[in-house]
Amino acid sequence: MFCIHAYLHRRLCKAPASVSQRVRAGPGRVRAADAEVRVPVARAHGLRASAAVGGPGPALHGGDGARARAAPAAARAPAAAPRLHRPKNCASAAGADAGPACACACRAPLVGVRALHNGSAAAGVAACALPCRGAFFTREEKEFAAVWVAMWAGLCAASTLMTLTTFLIDSQRFKYPERPIVYLSACYFMVSLGYLARLALGHDEVVCEGALLRTSANGPGACTLVFVLVYFFGMASSIWWVVLSFAWFLAAGLKWGNEAIAGHAQYYHLAAWLIPAAKTVAVLLAGAVDGDPVAGICYVGNSSPENLKRYVLAPLIVYFALGATFLLAGFVSLFRIRSVIKRQGGVGAGSKADKLEKLMIRIGVFSVLYAVPAGVVIGCLAYEAGGHEQWLRRVACGPACGARPLYSALMLKYFMALAVGITSGVWIWSGKTLESWRRVWRGPRAAREPAPAARALFKDV
């Protein structure tokens, strides 16, 4: 039983009935029909068949046209089944006994180029480039993706703009340790502008070089601008998440006051803006910026899994781990404080415990609304980095030689990448926000209320 033809690694086919393993009784004699190996079948699948039967047996090399040679010892050997060998460039799935014959070529939708430009080297095809509109999805899927990304980017821009405007109206409400939420919202507002730039500048202007997908962006241009908006401010938002968790830890775990935390604000800004700036410059100098044919933006790692791991996936994992560690430590401290307040009792103990519980709920809700999208984005990026080579091989070598990307996973990535900006307004959803906007609506001649006095951390809820 031989597997000589498999359209996918899920289907097995039997060898032709003309290839027989039956040996007729007798001294080295076999029936001629049993020794027949059909040459066209073997050649059609790029396989090599060799049979040892009574008399000089043929050796058939699929695709090379070599003459059959007789082996003297084969006449004395018992009849054996022909051995079929797959080409060396055919990669089969793990655990499969045999794989499909992969004939890799620069076929549509790939675009052939004279010089090695964006060669799909993973598929073994030189001088072959990815098209401007992508090669993995259908036209309908691409059109839906454009609407999907634009919708969530618009909601993200609206939500973060509301948060920023509320901060400008009443900045006294946003003190440390909550102040980093404002900067995080500002970062996501800029990220959403980067995604919306496709609508203003056009898909081809941002990610295309003629009919090819852009693979590097050096110097000024629409691609570089969009890359800076999405990458720089995206990484800065992750660091502001770490700063926010660290500030909550200082307040809850180490009992720092608002003024003490704010006294180190310059260091928070230094880390949150300098580190992403250095990484952005490093990516530009390395020429690692490339186009995303689905979202219509320029980012890093769209055509290089190594760049995706180095410049995006690894930093996000580090930031997520640091933020989660500080947040968990802060929650442990808040639970201890709550237990102490309830155990001591006294006048106003119940009110203090209630306010502390409200603060814990708000911090917990906001943390979940950030941690879940951030974790999903990391998972989607890991899936993208691990499967990109197989996706390319499927396009260049045929459906049997690689997997197709999961469309829903990529759509989930774009949604979760913008969801944090949408949910950042949770912190301002309160009666104080309505009162601030009401004062603005009344106009400058309306009597203004005095600015709220500085409150302790657990009283300003």
Within 8 A by CB and 6+ apart from 9, the residues are: 92, 93, 96, 99, 100, 400
Residue 217 pLDDT > 90, yes or no?
no
* Domain match, 194 and 277 both: yes
* Domain match, 244 and 302 both: yes
* Domain match, 71 and 166 both: no
**Residue 276 belongs to domain with CATH number:** 1.20.1070.10
Torsion 354-356-359-364 (CA) sign: negative
In a domain? residue 96: no
Residue 353 pLDDT > 50, yes or no?
yes
Three-class secondary structure of residue 437 per DSSP: helix
In a domain? residue 106: no
In a domain? residue 53: yes
* Domain match, 287 and 371 both: yes
Within 8 A by CB and 6+ apart from 370, the residues are: 241, 420, 423
In a domain? residue 123: no
Residue 187's pLDDT band, with cuts at 50, 70 and 90, is: very high
In a domain? residue 390: yes
Beta strands 48-50 and 128-129, pairing class: unpaired
Alpha helices in 398-461, H assignment, sequence order: 407-423, 431-442
- Closest among 373, 384, 457, 458 to 184, alpha carbons compared: 373
- Considering 31, 66, 88, which residue would you say is the last residue of a domain? 88
| Half-sphere CA count of 450, side-chain side, radius 13 A | 3
In a domain? residue 9: yes
> What's the rounded Cα separation, in Å, for the pair 429 and 440?
17
* Domain match, 186 and 277 both: yes
* Domain match, 145 and 45 both: no
> What's the rounded Cα separation, in Å, for the pair 117 and 451?
61
* Domain match, 240 and 368 both: yes
* Domain match, 74 and 151 both: no
In a domain? residue 82: yes
* Domain match, 218 and 364 both: yes
User: What pLDDT is stored for residue 428 in this prediction?
Assistant: 77
Residue 246 pLDDT > 50, yes or no?
yes
- Considering 68, 88, 108, which residue would you say is the last residue of a domain? 88
Residue type, position 449, single letter: E
pTM over 0.75: no
In a domain? residue 357: yes
Task: List 297's β-bridge partners, or say none.
Answer: 292
* Domain match, 347 and 269 both: yes
Domain that holds residue 52: 1-88
Tokens of 397: 């070598």
Buried b (16+ CB within 10 A) or exposed e, 47-66: bbbbbbbbeebbbbbbeeee
* Domain match, 322 and 396 both: yes
Tokens of 138: 């259908």
Residue type, position 45, single letter: H
* Domain match, 84 and 166 both: no
Beta strands in 83-210 (DSSP E): 83-85, 111-112, 128-129, 208-209
pLDDT digits (tens, 9 = 90+) for 253-293: 888 888 899 999 999 999 999 999 999 999 999 999 998 99
How many of the other CB atoms lie within 10 Å of CB of 410?
A: 21
pLDDT digits (tens, 9 = 90+) for 67-93: 334 344 434 444 444 343 343 334 443
pLDDT digits (tens, 9 = 90+) for 188-203: 999 999 999 988 898 8
What is the count of structural domains for the chain? 2
Terminal Cα-to-Cα distance of the chain (whole angstroms)? 74
- Considering 58, 88, 118, which residue would you say is the last residue of a domain? 88
CB 189 within 8 Å of CB 164: yes
